[in-house]
């Protein structure tokens, strides 16, 4: 039974990459048992797969709320603190997805997730650092969280990612700096720690999405009247030109990232029952659903 749950969570994790499957999986009632597995899973693999499934499911707006309503945030923070390297990365990814919701940004911070995320940003694996940067970037959309993140020591580590991470890591770091740089006191701290130079260097070689985030971050730093001249000197761009770069690249990035949903591969409700209960034994639909929920407890 424990192995079956682990495998089921892994299957749901993979299926939940698809947008339509996110909806179908939630409608199949999988979120509460995934949260339960995150809490009570007997192996690290089980908890990691549950977190990974919740991370992907949280890409859907309603699913974010459902995960919160089923008390999913606290066990994600616990996995972030106590999990394996992969578990921490998946937990950070899930919290990052949830943190796209403004209300959940406050709630996640209230669960004291920022400190462990900054620790993962500093000490984690490459994947862990990327996920942590993404989560902190989303949390930094909240004004109070910006201050907490900066005061917890994230700035230097984010700047380091701009230089030594993979392209995905650099994009996430630039995005986090962009959101932090809306605050005037943080703008100055970013400049003091070398963010302008690092962002300017990254802007020259970044991917389209990286250019959006780097130009936007520099644009926000440039809002500080004492830094306008410095930004222009180090980047070679005026504030208006930075605005044009992020605007143009954002449009190109959006056009190139379109996806077509695969409706034909949307799993049925029967699939979600069978993945936990095994083949149907001619039970009524109500009995199947009851067994489905029981097997996930």
Distance CA 227, CA 191 (A): 8
Instruction: Indicate whether 296 pLDDT > 60.
Output: no
Instruction: Indicate whether 292 pLDDT > 50.
Output: no
Please report, to the nearest 10 degrees, the dihedral formed by the alpha carbons of residues 4, 12, 277, 84 taken in order. 30
Measured on CA atoms in the order 17, 20, 22, 25, is the torsion positive or negative? negative
pLDDT at position 275 is 40
Q: b/e per residue, 137-166, with b = 16+ CB within 10 A?
A: bbbbbbeebbebbbebebbebbbbbbeebe
Which domains can be identified in the chain, with CATH numbers?
A: 1-152 (1.25.10.10), 155-257 (1.25.10.10)
How much is the pTM?
0.85
**pLDDT tens track for 112-158:** 999 999 999 999 999 999 999 999 999 999 999 999 999 999 999 99
Given the structure tokens 């066990």, which residue do they identify? 75
pLDDT at position 281 is 32
**pLDDT tens track for 173-226:** 999 999 999 999 999 999 999 999 999 999 999 999 999 999 999 999 999 999
The Cβ-side half-sphere exposure at 14, using a 13 Å CA radius, reads: 6
């Amino acid at each position: 039974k424990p192995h079956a749950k682990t495998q089921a969570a892994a299957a749901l994790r993979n299926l939940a990459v698809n947008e339509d499957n996110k909806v179908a999986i939630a409608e199949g009632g999988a979120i509460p048992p995934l949260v339960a597995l995150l809490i009570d899973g007997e192996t690290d693999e089980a908890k990691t797969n549950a977190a990974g499934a919740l991370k992907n499911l949280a890409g859907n707006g309603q699913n974010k709320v459902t995960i919160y309503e089923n008390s999913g945030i606290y066990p994600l923070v616990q996995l972030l603190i106590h999990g394996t390297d992969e578990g921490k990365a998946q937990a950070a990814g899930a919290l990052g997805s949830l943190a796209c919701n403004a209300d959940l940004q406050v709630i996640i911070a209230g669960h004291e997730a920022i400190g462990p995320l900054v620790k993962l940003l500093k000490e984690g694996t490459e994947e862990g650092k990327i996920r942590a940067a993404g989560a902190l970037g989303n949390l930094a959309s909240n004004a109070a969280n910006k201050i907490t993140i900066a005061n917890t020591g994230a700035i230097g580590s984010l700047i380091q990612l701009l230089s030594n991470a993979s392209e995905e890591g650099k994009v996430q770091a630039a995005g986090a700096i962009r959101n932090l740089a809306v605050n005037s006191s943080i703008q100055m701290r970013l400049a003091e720690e070398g963010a302008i130079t690092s962002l300017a260097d990254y802007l020259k070689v970044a991917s389209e999405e990286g250019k959006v985030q780097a130009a936007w971050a520099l644009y926000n730093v440039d809002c500080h009247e004492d830094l306008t001249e410095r930004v222009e000197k180090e980047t070679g761009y005026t504030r208006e030109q930075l605005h044009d770069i992020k605007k143009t690249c954002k449009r190109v990035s959006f056009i190139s990232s379109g996806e077509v949903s695969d409706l034909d591969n949307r799993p049925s409700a029967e699939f979600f029952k069978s993945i936990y209960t095994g083949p149907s034994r001619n039970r009524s639909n109500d009995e199947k659903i009851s067994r489905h929920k029981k097997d996930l407890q």
